[in-house]
Amino acid sequence: MNFVRYICTLIAGAALALCSFIGIAVADTIKIGSFLAVTGPASFLGDPEKKTLELYVDKINEQGGINGKQVELTLYDTGLDAKEAVTFVKRLISEDQVDIIVGGTTTGETMAVLKEIEKAGIPFISLAGASVIIDPPKKWVFKTPHTDAMAVGMVYNDMKKEGISKIGLIAGAGGFDKSCMKNAQALAEGAGISIAIAETYGKGDNDMTPQLTKIKNAGVDATLFCGFGGPSSIVTKNYAQLGIEGPLYHTHGSCSKGFIKGAGDAANGVRLPCAALLVADQLPDDDPQKTIGMDYIKAYTDKYGSDVSTFGGHAYDALFIAVEALTKAGTTDKAKVRDAIEATENFIGVDGIFNMSESDHMGLSLDSFKMLEVENGNWKYLY
């Protein structure tokens, strides 16, 4: 009797566990799948991305969908967990049977799912920054944000214009920071820039005065900071406190109002390359990105009432590159849609003008960046 009871308990328990699996119905629509870090440490990236996707999928459906078919968005929150990202991608592919995937807020999540994407053969447009995602190009993988190497290239161009030749570098321990620093060192010689000193700080440090003091003593013309998030503001504040000569440059990792708010007055004078979106209202009227940027800002702020960020812009571009490819292909056949994405030409997005090719799965050129300067706590468009 005891044994029977025991078995009953186990079976009841197992049934309980199995109850957690429930299927989802299928309808004749175009399905776009997405996995984003909407919650967790990267939510300031994932949240605007999610809002942008939802906003524009609704708009597309109001306007009649793609090729007469309604669009269905299936979006999962990874909470910045690479393991969850992999599970959700498998779910999108085999359970939800989506036609294309747009998502992957960070480089870590994106890299984690590439194996599944390539195995399943489904077009995927990533929203993460690092160049490793598309370099070397992978058959099914595309991305929209600018790379760190491009930001460094843009900064070096500006330095030459300003007659700067000897610089200091400061970076954190994160993946973006390291990659940016490596590119800064690799590109320096070709750009005629000499790096007098390169300093790094640890994850979670909240005072970079020691590193910046060394840079000050090295007597540089300008300093380049590689990083994003909280450290952007701290480095900028410390830089101002030490009264270091010469301008401070940032990369596009600081293209958010949060950076200016954090650094306060110290942010004034910082020069950095950003997507046109932040200064859409200051662009000359003949700039092709002006209209699209203004439209996006209006739609986003009307709906959500909060400031736009370039991260939502990455999602906007990825979604519309996907929509354009689906429209052109006239089918949801994965291989044809992939070919259509690769053939993206002169696509005007908020990040810039995309021209993809077999060897370039991002398609942005250096002139898609705008050089900005912070002035009186706001972005000022330089060129």
Partner 1 sequence: MKGATVASRYGGVFVLAVIVAVLPWFLPNSFYFDVVINSGIAAIVCVGLNLLIGYAGQISLGHAGFFALGAYSSAILTDNLGWPPIVSLGSGLLVVALLAFAIARPILRLKGHYLAMATLGMGIIISIVLNQEVDLTGGPDGMPVSSFSLLGQEVDSELGWYWIVGGSLIITVWLALNLIDSAVGRALRAVHGSEVAAQVAGVDTTRYKILIFVVSAVLAAYAGSLFAHYTGFLTPSEGSFFRSIEFVTMVVLGGMASVFGSVIGAAILTALPQFLTVFHDYEHVMFGLVMMLTMIFMPKGLLPSLRNWINKRTS
**Interface positions with partner 1 (CB under 8 A):** 1-3, 5-14, 16-17, 20-23, 39, 76-77, 80-84, 86-87, 90-91, 93-95, 106-108, 111-115, 130, 173-176, 178, 202-203
Q: Is 193 exposed, middle or buried (0-12, 13-18, 19+ CB in 10 A)?
A: buried
Smallest distance, partner 1 to C-beta of residue 85, A: 9
> 271-275 and 369-375: which strand pairing?
antiparallel
- Residue 206, judged by CB atoms within 10 A of its CB (0-12, 13-18, 19+), counts as exposed
Q: Where do the DSSP E strands lie in 206-260? A: 222-226, 248-249
CB of 183 to partner 1, least distance (A): 15
Q: Which CB, 77 or 317, lies closer to partner 1?
A: 77
CB 274 within 8 A of CB 379: yes
Q: How far is Cα 275 from Cα 327, in angstroms, rounded to an integer?
A: 26
Residue placing its CB nearer to partner 1 in the complex, 124 or 156: 124
DSSP string spanning 173-212?
SSHHHHHHHHHHHHHHHHHT-EEEEEEE--TT----HHHH
Nearer to partner 1, 106 or 144 (CB): 106
Give dist(CA 202, CA 43) in Å, integer.
22
Widest distance between CA atoms in the chain: 90
CB of 23 to partner 1, least distance (A): 7
Kindly tell me which of 102 and 321 has the beta carbon lying closer to partner 1: 102
**Which is nearer to partner 1, 100 or 181 (by Cβ)?**
181
The Cβ of residue 275 has, within 10 Å, a number of other Cβ atoms equal to: 29
Q: Which residue number, 170 or 372, has a Cβ lying nearer to partner 1?
A: 170
90 vs 166, which CB is nearer to partner 1? Answer: 90
CB of 96: closest distance to partner 1 in angstroms? 8
What CA–CA distance (Å, rounded) separates 296 from 156? 30
* Length reported for the chain: 383
